[in-house]
Amino acid sequence: MAKQYKKLQNKVYPKKKAEDKPQEKIGKDYLLIFVIAFTAVVTLVGWEHFDSLNRWMYLLLTFSLSMTYIFRHGNISENAKIYVNRASLASMGLAIAMFLLSAYYTFVG
């Protein structure tokens, strides 16, 4: 009788396994916040001095870092995290490509 009661109890109230633990909280990422703020300030201060390629590069870089922060600390669903991560990586790739293009125009072209 006790065995049947335990089986029934395990079906109704399953025990939590070690893998069901909530994920540990990630720190506040003060360095990431600082870098986001720094790129935003550089973008705003240098707006008049940059050409359109550099403007887009800094805007994409700021966007990518912001998406990285949202991915790490935002309370969003797993589906949304996939899209946020992809947007972050895509904008970072475009920013790097624009940097390389800008360096090519500055030093070679």
pLDDT at 10 (0 to 100) = 81
- The per-residue pLDDT for range 69-91, each reduced to its tens digit, is 999 998 999 999 999 999 999 99
pLDDT at 2 (0 to 100) = 78
DSSP string of 9-73, one letter each residue: HHHHSPPPPGGGSPPPPP---HHHHHHHHHHHHHHHHTTTTS-HHHHHHHHHHHHHHHHHHHHHH
Average pLDDT over residues 46-61: 95
Q: How far is CA 100 from CA 23, 49, 85, 97, 103, in A?
A: 38, 19, 23, 5, 5
- The per-residue pLDDT for range 1-40, each reduced to its tens digit, is 777 878 778 878 777 765 555 666 667 889 999 999 999 9
DSSP 85: H
**Confidence (pTM):** 0.73
